[in-house]
Structures are given as C-alpha cells and as structure tokens.
Amino acid sequence: MTLEEFFKYYKKVALAFSGGVDSSYLLYILKKLNIESTAYFVKSEFQPDFELKESITLATKLGADLKIIDNPILNEEKIITNDSSRCYYCKQNIFSHIIKTAKQDGYNIIIDGTNATDDEGDRPGMKALKEMKILSPLKICSLTKQDIRTLSKEAGLPTWDKPSYSCLATRISTGQKIKKDTLVKIEKSESYLFKLGFKDFRIRVKDNSAVIQVKEKDFIKVMENRDRILKTISHMFDEISFDLRPRR
C-alpha cells in the first residue's frame, strides 16, 4: 500500500507531530494530498525549545494547521519515577492529550510517525499506541527510516537529514527520578554542543554525573573543544566524562 492509497480511506486525520523526520514527512504528504488535518505538538519539559521552534517553522512553511498542547508532565508520578515502563506511560499521557483535543476539534482518526524500521521490542511506547488505536501510515505502508529520509530530500524538506532526537527524559538513568533541574541541565548542555557544531550526540546523566556520547567521527572534535565544553557545562555536574564507545 502507498501513502496515497492509505489516505483514500482516511480523508480527515489528526497528526501527532514532533518535528522529526517521520512526522514532518507525514505533514508534507497531508498537505500535498489536501487531506483535512491538524498537527498537534505536545509541549512539556521533556522537549527542548528548539523542537517546538522548528516545528512551528515547518508547519508555517507548509501552510499546515498546528496546535500546541501544554502538558505538565512532571506532575505525573508514574512517569517521573522513571522505571522501565516510563516510555509506555509517557506515550499514554501524550496521546491522551492529543486524542482529547483532537476529538474536540472533530477528529476521530489519530496518526503518528512510527515507521517500518521502528522495533516494538525496543520501544515500549509502541504498545501504548496499539492500545489507543493510533494509526501509523509509514509503518502500514512499509516505509523505513531511510525511505523517509530519501523521500523527504526529494520533497525539499529541511528535516531529511535531521538526526533522530528522543526526549530529554531518555538521557536520565532508569530508576533515577526525573526532576526539572536535571532536564534543564541536559538541555543547556546539549544546546551548547549544538552550537559547537555537533549534530548526533547525547549527554547521559546518572545521579549528577554526565557522560558525553558522540559518533566516532566526532571524537577528535570533542578533544579539540574539551576546554570550552568544560568551561561551559562543568559547573552543572559533579563529573563529566567522555564515552569511548561511539554512539550508534
């Protein structure tokens, strides 16, 4: 099945929109096929500010309707406890907000950007999507992440080579309670590395120690910028280390 064939059956949909490669391509397709739709971005402390700004910019460029839903996620104890089911509870929470708002706007079908490469065994949140009857057109149409990057490039979308970017909560060690000040430290630190030109990286936190993870090609760049990185972010953490295992 192609996306064009899929949307012959679904002519009015609400899109869970994150501004990433997958949901951005879906937003483009919705506009291209003139599907009645609204994109919903759920904003919480788990998303860095740049994600929202980039989402607004793209939606404006495509002429798409975008709604921002504020989500006080740090009030959800079962999420901030940060056990092995956090992603599942978080997806439940996010899509509950989207479903509620979308239904008020007259939408009964909710779609998301899960693709054919996404592994359910790796992503507990996908279980929540099934339970909530969220449709994943990219997965249904057997489109892989690489397919979507290629199609996005052909469509002229700026997101075609955007690195995958999981929420800030994924940086915090499982079992460590998620707190706002920890999320702020991570966002500030990663924002600085972005400014230095790093693209695909993570800053992982356990207790109050940070570990920088980058692609192997960026190892030398980390050492070249070592003093600047330490000067900018060392006051936020007790320890800062560099993971010698390259980020995949």
pLDDT for the residue numbered 122: 62
CATH number of the 3-154 domain:
3.40.50.620
Rounded to an integer, what distance in angstroms lies between the CA atom of residue 46 and that of residue 192? 18
The alpha-carbon radius of gyration of the chain (Å, integer) is: 19
3-class DSSP state for residue 127?
A: helix
Q: How far is CA 193 from the centre of its chain?
A: 18
Decide: 128 and 92 in contact? Cβ < 8 Å: yes
pLDDT for the residue numbered 196: 97
Pick from 96, 31, 42, 104: which is nearest to 67 by CA?
Answer: 42
Q: Residue 185: enclosing H or E segment and its boundaries?
A: helix 180-195
Rounded to an integer, what distance in angstroms lies between the CA atom of residue 2 and that of residue 164? 24
Q: What is the pLDDT along the chain (248 residues), one digit of tens a residue?
A: 999 999 999 999 999 999 999 999 999 999 999 999 999 999 999 999 999 999 999 999 999 999 999 999 999 999 999 999 999 999 999 999 999 999 999 999 999 999 999 877 667 788 899 999 999 999 999 999 999 999 999 999 999 999 888 899 999 999 999 999 999 999 999 999 999 999 999 999 999 999 999 999 999 999 999 999 999 999 999 999 999 999 98
Supply the residues annotated as catalytic. Answer: 167
CATH number of the 179-242 domain:
3.30.70
Q: Where are the domains of the chain?
A: 3-154, 179-242
Rounded to an integer, what distance in angstroms lies between the CA atom of residue 168 and that of residue 3? 31
- Cα dihedral 221, 222, 226, 228 sign: positive
3-class DSSP state for residue 242?
A: strand
User: Which long-range CB contacts under 8 A does 206-211 form with residues at least 24 apart?
Assistant: 206/172, 206/173, 206/176, 207/173, 207/176, 207/238, 208/237, 208/238, 208/239, 209/237, 209/238, 209/239, 209/240, 209/241, 210/185, 210/236, 210/237, 210/239, 210/240, 210/241, 211/240, 211/241, 211/242, 211/243
End-to-end CA distance of the chain: 31
pLDDT for the residue numbered 124: 76
Give the number of residues written for the chain: 248
pLDDT for the residue numbered 96: 97
Residues 6+ apart with CB under 8 A from 227: none
